Chain A
């Protein structure tokens, strides 16, 4: 008996499902959890305050009555009510610490606990960013040293850790490109962007005042269309933004030629470092001719992410662009001490308060030291090996948008399931029943019905085998009993959500019922 038959018969019998992987985090349909306001009981308190031991002040004297709210409808609960409420909610959370998270393009790898411990050290945790530099020498050394580490890893000598997200790093970089051109008296209008790019690339170009020009891709190799690139490259191009490996998980094999041709017309090469995990310790973008690259510290260098931050988007640049880096930079004085260098007349200025997300920088710093030079080399190699292993496991049951050896991730083609009435979204939803966070779907946009899988280097063979088996089981279901897939998920606290209505008529805030 196959797992497919098992789960399918269970659905028809109305029995609780047991997922193929045997480790769903869900126990089947449950009652919804009310919002904390609905649990309020008038007069209930979590604590009692002692009597005032300071003189009371008449409120009317300090705040006029007209400026005061008469009611503040906060929930009234005991401490235990609050603890249980949030603990229950947290049990419905899905995280890399409970399950596999194969979200393509997001590098959801495991972040070692020691890096959390380092970031929590009281000596770091209790700093204030406005303390005099002389009292925070250790923190400044961390920033200084990670700048040097990232320079060595990327082959780009100028580094600022101020940006706090990938798109923030992009904007910082393209603003530096703009400043560099203007310094030379060049008014350029265009930025070239492949059609496989992350949406943040054209958004960045627009934010920096440029028009983005799309370059097509080669349907066979999955790489940028080289002839299209050449025909659109001219001396009005400020930069080309290219992702390496690209969003199909494929290396742009003509990158050095692309850099050379761009440089011939004074066009900078910006590398979107979102996929740096595939390259770490193997090649350095700077050595290929790339002029700027941002590093998603939260993807590649062990900063927890998935909840929207705080992240890190350090920007690394070639020597010619160093004068334009955000100020202040952390530098080392001749006497060995560390200081802020704000005397940078060509700098584009601040892009964030203080030095960015220092706690993210700390985690990355600890991670880089933890792995060392050899470990970092294994990182990129194993990320690529794992993706190709999983790709091979799926090859008999799925087709690929581009069928070739991949880098750290690959893109399945969901179109063959259309004839059974099953779409990529349905396959993703059914995977939830098997206890997995679905892969990235419908990205990159150039790959119709895309299913994008990135196992990362931290997953074991056993985990990848189990996930591949679940995905293959879903593929069989799609062909034989499509309704099971179309109506998934069946085992979650709530079933298929109405995403269309959620987008068209969003209901974002709880409101007290009108009494």
Chain B
């Protein structure tokens, strides 16, 4: 699965996509493939603040539990409620139905420090 070109990527394998005046966040195909079958996604409450680089939740697979890291700072305006009952959406549709957060970026929030799809593909070659 190729990584969408309308997303930016973190070194911890989260993606973020600008959608109007908010940002949508999820984990990449590589991340879900490494994790294996996702059984639980723990997400913050709507209205909570997240800060760039800090953990905002946990994704648990049959193998392990892994922290999720915020690709930008801001306030959460929506979380993907479907993941409560269908965490496997993260495996099957990591870039659309398996999204996790919708965030209103804080003032000055920028995706400039993140990788584009090409840079992320190169980065994946260097990981492991």
Contact = CB atoms under 8 A, between A and B. Distances in A.
A interacts with B: yes
Interface of A: 199, 219, 415, 425, 441-443, 445, 448, 499-500, 503-504
Given A500-B39, A503-B40, A504-B39, A448 B63 contact: no
A442 B63 contact: yes
Interface in B63-79: 63-66
Contacts of A442: 36, 63-64
Interface of B: 34, 36-37, 39-40, 60, 62-66, 87-88, 128
B39 A445 contact: no
A193 B39 CA distance: 26
Contacts of B39: 500, 503-504
16 contacts: A199-B65, A219-B128, A415-B128, A442-B63, A442-B64, A445-B64, A448-B34, A499-B37, A499-B62, A500-B37, A500-B39, A500-B88, A503-B39, A503-B62, A504-B39, A504-B40
A104 to B, nearest CB: 15
Give the interface centre of B34, B37, B63 by most chain A CB atoms within 10 Å. B63
A144 to B, nearest CB: 41
A504 B65 CA distance: 14
B42 to A, nearest CB: 14
B87 A504 contact: yes
A443 B40 CA distance: 19
Nearest to B65: A199
Given A442-B64, A448-B34, A504-B39, 8 more contacts: A441-B63, A442-B63, A445-B66, A499-B37, A500-B88, A503-B39, A503-B60, A503-B62
Give the interface centre of A199, A445, A504 by most chain B CB atoms within 10 Å. A504
Contacts of A441: 63
B58 to A, nearest CB: 11
Contacts of B88: 500
A442 B36 CA distance: 10
Nearest to A219: B128
B10 to A, nearest CB: 14
A448 B62 contact: no
A448 B128 contact: yes
A500 B62 contact: yes
Contacts of B62: 499-500, 503
Nearest to A499: B62
A199 B58 CA distance: 13
A504 B34 CA distance: 19
Contacts of A448: 34, 128
B54 to A, nearest CB: 10
Contacts of A415: 128
Contacts of B34: 448
A499 B60 CA distance: 13
A415 B88 CA distance: 23
A443 B65 CA distance: 11
A499 B87 CA distance: 14
A443 B61 CA distance: 13
A448 B36 CA distance: 11
A500 B39 CA distance: 6
Give the interface centre of A199, A441, A443, A445 by most chain B CB atoms within 10 Å. A445
A34 B63 CA distance: 29
A430 to B, nearest CB: 17
A86 B36 CA distance: 36
A27 B39 CA distance: 33
A70 to B, nearest CB: 37
Contacts of B60: 503
Contacts of B87: 504
Contacts of A199: 65
A445 B36 CA distance: 13
A436 to B, nearest CB: 20
B14 to A, nearest CB: 16
Contacts of A445: 64, 66
Nearest to A202: B67
A415 B37 CA distance: 17
A199 B65 CA distance: 9
A415 B127 CA distance: 13
Nearest to B85: A504
A392 to B, nearest CB: 24
A333 to B, nearest CB: 49
A216 to B, nearest CB: 11
Contacts of B128: 219, 415, 448
Nearest to A444: B64
A118 to B, nearest CB: 39
A380 B35 CA distance: 34
Contacts of A443: 64
A284 B43 CA distance: 44
A507 B128 CA distance: 38
A499 B40 CA distance: 13
Closest 9 CB pairs of A and B: A503-B39, A442-B63, A500-B37, A499-B62, A504-B39, A445-B64, A448-B128, A503-B62, A500-B62
Contacts of A425: 36
A108 B35 CA distance: 27
Nearest to A501: B39
A499 B38 CA distance: 11
Nearest to B63: A442
Nearest to A446: B128
